[in-house]
Amino acid sequence: MFKLSLPFLGNVAAVVPAALRVGADTRSASAPHPLIEFARLDTARALARLGVDGEGLDDAQVEARIEEFGENVVAQEKKRSFVVEIAVRFATNPINVLLTILAVVSWLGDDAMGAAIMLAMVFMAVFLSYFQESRTGKAVEKLRSMVSNTATARRKPAPAEDEEAPSAPIVAQKIEVPIERLVPGDVVHLSAGDMIPADLRLLAAKDLFVNQSALTGESMPVEKFAGIDVEAGSPLEAKNLCFMGSNVISGSATGVLVATGSRTYFGALAGSLIGRRVQTSFDKGVQRFAWLMIRFMAVMVPLVFVINGLVKGAWLDAFMFAVAVAVGLTPEMLPMIVTINLAKGAMAMAKKDVIVKRLNAIQNFGAIDVLCTDKTGTLTQDKVILERHIGVDGDEDQAVLEYAWLNSHYQTGLKNLLDVAVLGAADADTAQRLQGEYTLVDELPFDFSRRRMSVIVRDRSGRHFLIAKGAVAEMLGISTSLHHARGEAQLSADAASESREVARDLNDDGFRVIALGVREIEAKGAYSLADESGLTLMGFLAFLDPPKDSVADAIRALNDNGVAVKILTGDNDIVTRNVCRQVGFDVERFLVGPEIEAMTEEELTVAARDTQVFARLNPQQKVRVIEALHRDGHVVGFLGDGINDGPALRAADVGISVDTAVDIAKEAADIILLEKSLMVLEEGVLEGRKVFGNILKYIKMTASSNFGNMFSVIGASAFLPFLPMAPVQILLNNLLYDFSQTAVASDDVDKEYLAQPRQWDMRAITRFVLCIGPISSIFDYATFAVMWFVFKANAPEHATLFQTGWFVESLLSQTLIVHVIRTGRLPFVRSRASLALTVTGIAICLVGALLPYSPLAAKFGFVPLPGMYWLWLTLILVAYMALTQFVKTRLMRRFGML
């Protein structure tokens, strides 16, 4: 029989496939879903629709259907080879491509060291990202491994080769069939513990309960039956349909397969996990910044080349100088700096029970301004508890709990979640007392037509009691009296109406309600269903998936940090409203799946702005909501733990799952929480903002510094009779500065910066570069003047002194200005850099200052600087930092946080 060990099967949600052909190839947009059509057909017409008789298929029919529909396997993703994967990662990052081109040019220009450094940085960034993300390719393999082994199907055996045409009809037999060989029209047999091998229409069912929580998010088992269901609004609501990926809790059934393989809901999920991920805000931001720098280069580099060639006449030297300028404009350490920051952030988040699978997701984590999350397990505890046990008048009644405990304890069938909740509600002393006072005599098992189950117990005095619990309407139908605080009374029409009102109020509050009745019955040899009559209605049992205590504080903390929380759940709207009310989550607007289905993309974009809760969603609808939020300019995080959440996890900027989630969800996610808690999420969001803040520091500091240097280069090239800095000096300057910034990952970030989501803002970066960059040029020109007029480095024979003086000033100024640019506060007074960043900065300044006096000076074209140079340099640096602080403050007053 089809029995699987699936420790990671949790929530699978129904994805409505774009084209699920069952019988007919096409259908109009307004036509009902094919599975709904099967739910509304009687058995004979359903079988006829499939072209089968329900007795079983023969080999010829099976082969023909496999030829038409394919094998019953979910979609398979074609894996890229290692070489192709590396090539794709390299080619899709413009900075990597640019650095490689410049490395080749440098190598051709006899600068092997510079070429090697740039290539090493490219390779390290590419390979680190590859090994960090290689596990995500296993997602579809995990999904496929869930549907393996065999199922019990009814098949007609083929006649022997030498046998003449049989005189009697061939009788179908039950045989074990490999799952992949099942086809539409196959009749399969199910029993407790079986997984559903494909989407099917029930032909017969006995006491069948199916765990569909993976499809809908509801914790309760779903009752299934074989009759016509004309009321279902969607396939998942149909009582006579079962779906691949769900499993049988109790009972048995026979069903005919109506969809297999990729045409099933489950198969459509595998298909949705195939293909490239949606490009995230971080990926887009890095690319936009890279192209910004390329545009700067496209203007600056040719200009430098032409000016130097015309002024000095040495076109080869001008070309090599222009290449050095291109390298100077390129933030060649960006891939490494980003990787270092993200890796450090990943380690810091791991200490907060947040595991990062895709490094780029860390920044997205900090940038999200909308968090979409499921209800079950996030707002609630993801378990069923008996919340209330009340009498018919609505007051708590211990007798109701004790009779319910006896019923659940002594029933010998498979105990469902409600029974477990009842047994857990009684304390140990009560349970021990009841076991000592009552013994089991007989039971009347649950069946769908009665919608109740009963046990007969005997107390110490020998009296027999029939205790029944079940659906409210059915229990009222077999009760003739009711019990309340004043004693027993006849169950009149008015009393029955009042009892229904009590149950209805509980339902409206999101509880699942069952009724409990008791009857003292005379002892006899055997009991029958006829004995379930004349009961006294004792009261009601109300079950709930309770809210978490920490949810209200967590939502408030996320809101305070600029993150709006939206609920996306497959559960029904009544339960969801109740849970939101209990945790203090204000719901001004509520949308359900059918309403979303009827909306255009534009209508949904507008509706999603002000809607806090989306209920009764299938996975495609979850994706549509996320895409609508994207269109509205939001960075969206999605927290989900089921197979049904796979598409939404990939569609979001950052997919978040938990370690208790199904493997397919964990593989599709970018970030995994060791605790499914919104409070943990808040800590992760702040860490993500810190990581992004430090990455942005490097980008702004490097881009503005390089931009300013290039202005200086252009001016100097036009007026100096020699190169303002040798190409090798430009490369060394750039390398030393970048090394000083490797510790930026350890730096602290201002609290006010962490208070709001942070996203890539190319306009802000460009504005910063254009305003701060030229300031460095002002003091570069001041240095030029000092070297030219004070130290008389104004002829080609004194070029090395000029170049040395500007090299030291350029290196020290851009290394020290980091302390001003890194914070929105007053540097050194209200905000200090981390110890690591301070130490590396001081170390690089010392290296730059000592190089002209070292044995390496001649190799790089340096000469010792006069003593008075250091006094002039001190004045220039102090003035530079003061002016930059002034301009930064004015920018912040006008445009806000930089």
As annotated, the active-site residues are 374
Cα dist from 737 to 320, 342, 742, 808, 843, whole Å: 21, 20, 9, 11, 11
Q: Please enumerate, as own/partner, the contacts of 630-635 that have beta carbons within 8 Å and a separation of 24 or more.
A: 631/601, 631/605, 632/605, 632/608, 634/369, 634/370, 635/281, 635/364, 635/367, 635/368, 635/369, 635/370, 635/757, 635/759
C-alpha span between 641 and 834 (Å, rounded)? 38
Cα end-to-end distance, the chain, whole Å: 64
Q: Per residue, what are the HEC states of 171-207?
A: CCEEEEEEHHHCCCCCEEEEECCCECCCEEEEEEEEE
Work out whether strand 247-259 and strand 370-373 pair parallel, antiparallel, or are unpaired: unpaired
Q: Among 379, 377, 375, 368, which residue's Cα sits nearest to residue 682?
A: 368
Alpha carbon 179 to its chain's center: 30
Distance CA(334)–CA(288), nearest Å, equals 13
Partner residues linked to 368 by β-bridges: none
Strand partners, 355: 672
Query: Alpha-carbon distance 685 to 365, whole Å?
Result: 5
Three-state DSSP at 482 gives strand
**Residue with tokens 């919340």, as numbered in its chain:** 387
C-alpha span between 541 and 583 (Å, rounded):
22
Q: Is the dihedral of CA 551, 555, 556, 561 positive or negative?
A: positive
User: What separation in angstroms does the CA of 448 have from each of 411, 478, 507, 613, 736?
Assistant: 16, 16, 21, 33, 77
CA 149 to chain centroid: 30
Distance CA(550)–CA(657), nearest Å, equals: 19
Largest CA distance in the chain: 122
